[in-house]
């Protein structure tokens, strides 16, 4: 039993806003949904499945289905694994479609942390004082940046990874972002620019961190029959994986991510290997997130990520693994501090041949999108999807 070829991504939409002072969260979700439906040539009445995660207001799917007036929903999923949720949702949608439970699944993300003045990276995140881990962690001042910083420090210790190597990830993202008119940061930066930017939490510098942005996005996962009926170019869902990773009863290891599990699941289901991938969207909350993920997905050996990402190897047209050609979270956007959904969007653009011409991968047949959620330092959810052109 497999989902390979049982579902397609039809419509996609990335909300162009990066600061949404005049729009509500529900409104951003709905505008994103409308954009994805228009892209596919479908309407609200065609939607029979709706998925969202913790960024959706109120009671998630119940609130948003009501707000958007969706009349025909018979399948829902609100799996919440932070920024990786939307990549998880693709697998769940494909499963539902394969089982005949749905034909058109709508997945949305939106938020406005910037308009709300949220200190995304440096303020403590309290996931609820009833969370059983909180009393043993929250008091010590964990936040998003220093958790990823501790992973980077350990990776440096074990494998000799350097700040300059991490910086190459940001350099590559900036090369791509210069061509994206919507990107928040469009200036091309150098390794020197990254390592000389202020330290936020050792060893991560300001330019090792992603942007804080408002916005959102949406996409549709549809059955093969619906995909065939549309005029729009659809991409095939070929393989999917999802995995939790945590502090493992006190056996902490911050040198790898849940991608160590989700990646092999996705490759096996798709029947392809890392060297077959033409383009990869890899969640980039921080440079270290990308480096560990690239290793975990098998693009290089564990511990060799620093050498792999150096010297422009992630830059489209130059390197072996073109990544995040929209500029990613490091330069383009990071709606509601959740980057999984936008990773899928750029992978679909690449497979359709609709990325910016300056960053479009030639003859892009196979793409990977990977989401990371929660915290690399404690509890995380990872999800990988492999997508292909219909003839792939």
Partner 1 sequence: MSAERVLPAPPENVEHTEFWAACNDGKLMLPRCKDTNQFFWYPRKTSPFTLSSNVEWIEASGKGEIYTYSVMRRSDPQYVIAYVRLDEGVTMMTNIVECDPNTVAVGMKVELVMRGSEGGQKVPVFKPA
- What are the residues binding partner 1 (CB under 8 A)? 122, 129-130, 132-143, 145-146, 149-151, 153-154, 157, 198-204, 247, 249-252, 254, 378
CA 386 to chain centroid, in Å, comes to: 13
Question: 91 exposed, middle or buried (CB, 10 Å; 0-12, 13-18, 19+)?
Answer: buried
Listing DSSP states for 336-385 in one string gives: TT--HHHHHHHHHHHHHT-S-TTTPPTT--EEEEEEEEE-TTS-EEEEEE
- Between 116 and 202, whose beta carbon lies closer to partner 1? 202
- Least CB distance from residue 311 to partner 1, whole Å? 27
Cis status of the peptide bond prior to 203, with omega within 30 of 0: yes
| CB-nearer residue toward partner 1: 365 or 378 | 378
User: Residue 165 CB, nearest distance to partner 1 (Å)?
Assistant: 18
Is the CB of 137 or the CB of 278 nearer to partner 1?
Answer: 137
> Closest separation between CB of residue 282 and partner 1, Å?
22
The full length of the chain comes to 392
Nearer to partner 1, 325 or 375 (CB): 375
Say how far apart CA 110 and CA 36 lie, in whole Å. Answer: 13
Provide the minimum distance between the beta carbon of 21 and partner 1 in the complex, in angstroms, as a whole number: 25
Which tokens hold the place of 295? 């290793």
The distance of closest approach from Cβ of residue 306 to partner 1 in the complex, given in angstroms and rounded to an integer, is 17
Q: Toward partner 1, which CB reaches closer, 280 or 376?
A: 376
Q: Min. distance of Cβ 266 from partner 1 in angstroms?
A: 27
- CA 78, 79, 82, 87 torsion-angle sign: negative
Contacts of 368 (CB under 8 A, 6+ apart): 266, 277, 279, 280, 281, 282, 297, 347, 384, 385, 386, 387
Please give the Cα distance from 32 to 13 (Å, whole number).
6
Q: Which is nearer to partner 1, 172 or 207 (CB)?
A: 207
If the CB atoms of residues 1 and 139 are measured against partner 1, the closer one turns out to be 139
For residue 77, the minimal CB distance to partner 1 (Å) is: 27
Query: What does the alpha-carbon distance between residue 11 and residue 7 come to, in Å, rounded to a whole number?
Result: 13
Q: Are 339 and 217 in contact (CB under 8 A)?
A: no
């Amino acid at each position: 039993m497999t989902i390979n070829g049982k579902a397609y991504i039809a419509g996609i939409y990335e909300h162009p806003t990066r600061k949404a002072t005049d729009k509500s969260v529900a409104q951003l979700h709905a505008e994103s949904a409308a954009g994805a439906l228009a892209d596919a040539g479908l309407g609200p009445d065609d939607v029979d499945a709706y998925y969202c995660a913790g960024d959706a207001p109120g009671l998630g799917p119940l609130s948003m289905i009501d707000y958007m007036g969706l009349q025909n929903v018979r399948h829902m999923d609100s799996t919440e694994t932070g920024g990786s949720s939307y990549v998880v949702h693709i697998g769940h949608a494909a499963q539902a479609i394969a089982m005949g439970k749905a034909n058109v699944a709508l997945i949305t993300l939106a938020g406005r942390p910037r308009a709300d003045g949220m200190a995304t990276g440096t303020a403590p995140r309290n996931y609820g004082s009833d969370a059983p881990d909180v009393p043993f962690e929250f008091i010590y001042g964990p936040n998003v940046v220093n958790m990823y910083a501790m992973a980077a420090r350990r990776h440096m210790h074990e494998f000799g990874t350097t700040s300059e190597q991490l910086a190459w990830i940001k350099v590559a993202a900036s090369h791509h972002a210069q061509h994206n008119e919507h990107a928040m940061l469009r200036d091309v930066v150098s390794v020197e620019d990254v390592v000389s930017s202020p330290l936020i939490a050792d060893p991560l510098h300001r330019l090792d961190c992603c942007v804080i942005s408002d916005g959102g996005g949406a996409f549709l996962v549809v059955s093969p029959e619906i995909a065939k009926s549309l005029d729009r170019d659809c991409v095939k869902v070929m393989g999917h994986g999802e995995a939790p990773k945590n502090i493992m009863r006190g056996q902490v290891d911050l040198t790898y991510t849940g991608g160590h599990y989700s990646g092999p699941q996705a490759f096996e289901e798709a029947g392809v290997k890392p060297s077959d991938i033409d383009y990869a969207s890899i969640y980039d909350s921080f440079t270290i997130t990308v480096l560990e993920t690239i290793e975990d997905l098998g693009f290089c050996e564990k511990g060799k990520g620093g050498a792999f990402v150096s010297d422009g190897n992630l830059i489209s047209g130059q390197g072996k693994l073109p990544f995040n050609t929209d500029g990613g979270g490091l330069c383009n956007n990071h709606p509601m501090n959740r980057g999984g959904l936008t990773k899928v969007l750029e992978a679909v653009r690449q497979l359709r041949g609709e990325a910016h011409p300056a960053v479009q991968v030639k003859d892009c047949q196979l793409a990977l999108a990977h989401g990371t959620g929660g915290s690399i330092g404690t509890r995380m959810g990872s999800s990988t999807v492999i997508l292909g052109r219909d003839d792939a």
